[in-house]
C-alpha cells in the first residue's frame, strides 16, 4: 500500500479527495489547521495531522508525520487554501499577503519538502482555481491560484522524469468556502455556469484521483479545469 498526503482535508473538497484516494487503495494522511482533521481522518480510516502549511514548523510537522507512518508516500495533493475577498480598491495588504502565503507559498514549500520523499513515478496534484482567469473581488486569490499553475509547470519540469505534477482548476463548488458567499452573489455565479449547476467536491476528487493514477502516467505540467464550462463561457 502507498500513502497519499492531502492538505486542507478536514472538510470540503479535501475531504472528498481523501475519501476518493482511499477508495483507490491508498493509505491517506489528512493535513489541516482545523482540529476537525482528527475526526475526518478517523471517519475515513486514515491518519490526521494538524499543521499549518504556510509555516516552516507546520511543513516540518507534516514531514515528521509522513516519516513516522512508515508507508511509501506516492501522492501529494496540495488542496489547502483560503480566500480573503474584497474589491481591489479596498484590499488591505494583509489580505493580499495571507492569500498568497497560504495558497501559493504553502503549495511551494510543501512540495519542496515532500517531493524528495515520494517514490519514483509518484504524483503531485495542486488545486488551482478557475478564478485565476479573473474574478471581481478575488484579485489576490486569482494571483495566488495563477501562481499555482506557474508552480505546477516549474515543478513538472524540475521533478521530471521521476515525478508528475499537475493541477486541477475547480469552478464554483459547494463547500464551506462558497457557502460563506452572499446568496445573491452565489446565484449570479451559478447562473453563469454552462452545465447549469454548481460543482460538488466529488467532481474535483475524481479529477484528482485520475491525475494521481497510472492512467495519467504520460500527463505532466497540465491544468484540468473542472468547472462546468465556466473557463470559456
- The set of catalytic residues is 141
Q: Does 77 bind ligand NAD (CB under 6 A)?
A: no
User: What is the closest distance, in whole angstroms, from the C-beta atom of residue 111 to ligand NAD in the complex?
Assistant: 14
Q: Which parts of 50-69 interact with ligand NAD (CB under 6 A)?
A: 52-54
Cell of 160: 521530471
Sole binder of ligand NAD in the list 106, 122, 142, 147 (CB under 6 A): 106
Q: Does 35 bind ligand NAD (CB under 6 A)?
A: no
Sole binder of ligand NAD in the list 3, 30, 33, 100 (CB under 6 A): 33
Sole binder of ligand NAD in the list 8, 48, 105, 146 (CB under 6 A): 8
Listed in sequence order, the DSSP H helices in the chain are 12-23, 36-44, 56-69, 93-100, 107-114, 139-159, 176-179, 183-191, 201-212
Q: Does 17 bind ligand NAD (CB under 6 A)?
A: no
Nearest to 9 by CA among 114, 19, 1: 19
Question: Is the Cβ of residue 72 or residue 176 nearer to ligand NAD in the bound state?
Answer: 176
Nearest to 67 by CA among 135, 116, 124: 116
58/65 Cα distance (integer angstroms): 11
Q: Does 80 bind ligand NAD (CB under 6 A)?
A: yes
User: What is the closest distance, in whole angstroms, from the C-beta atom of residue 69 to ligand NAD in the complex?
Assistant: 18
Q: Are strands 27-32 and 72-78 parallel, antiparallel or unpaired?
A: unpaired
What angle (nearest 5°) sits at the alpha carbon of residue 77, between those of residues 92 and 158? 90
List residues binding ligand NAD (CB under 6 A). 7-8, 10-14, 32-34, 52-54, 79-82, 102, 106, 127, 129, 170, 172-173, 175-178
Amino acid at each position: 500500500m502507498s500513502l497519499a498526503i492531502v492538505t486542507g482535508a478536514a472538510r470540503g473538497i479535501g475531504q472528498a479527495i481523501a475519501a476518493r484516494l482511499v477508495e483507490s487503495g491508498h493509505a491517506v494522511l489528512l493535513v489541516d489547521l482545523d482540529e476537525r482533521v482528527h475526526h475526518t481522518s478517523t471517519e475515513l480510516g486514515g491518519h490526521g495531522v494538524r499543521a499549518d502549511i504556510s509555516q516552516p514548523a507546520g511543513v516540518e510537522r507534516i514531514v515528521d508525520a509522513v516519516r513516522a507512518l512508515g508507508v511509501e508516500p506516492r501522492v501529494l495533493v496540495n488542496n489547502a487554501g483560503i480566500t480573503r475577498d474584497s474589491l481591489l480598491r479596498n484590499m488591505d495588504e494583509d489580505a493580499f499577503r495571507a492569500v498568497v502565503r497560504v495558497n501559493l507559498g504553502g503549495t511551494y514549500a510543501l512540495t519542496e519538502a515532500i517531493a524528495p520523499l515520494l517514490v519514483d513515478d509518484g504524483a503531485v496534484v495542486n488545486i488551482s482555481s478557475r478564478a485565476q482567469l479573473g474574478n471581481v473581488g478575488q484579485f489576490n486569490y486569482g494571483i495566488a491560484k495563477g501562481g499555482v499553475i506557474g508552480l505546477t509547470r516549474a515543478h513538472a519540469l524540475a521533478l521530471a522524469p521521476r515525478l508528475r505534477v499537475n493541477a486541477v482548476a475547480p469552478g464554483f463548488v459547494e463547500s464551506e468556502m462558497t457557502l460563506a458567499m452572499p446568496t445573491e452573489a452565489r446565484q449570479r455565479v451559478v447562473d453563469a455556469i454552462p452545465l447549469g449547476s454548481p460543482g460538488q467536491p466529488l467532481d474535483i476528487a475524481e479529477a484528482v484521483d485520475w491525475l494521481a493514477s497510472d492512467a495519467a502516467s504520460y500527463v505532466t505540467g497540465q491544468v484540468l479545469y473542472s468547472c462546468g464550462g465556466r473557463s470559456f463561457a
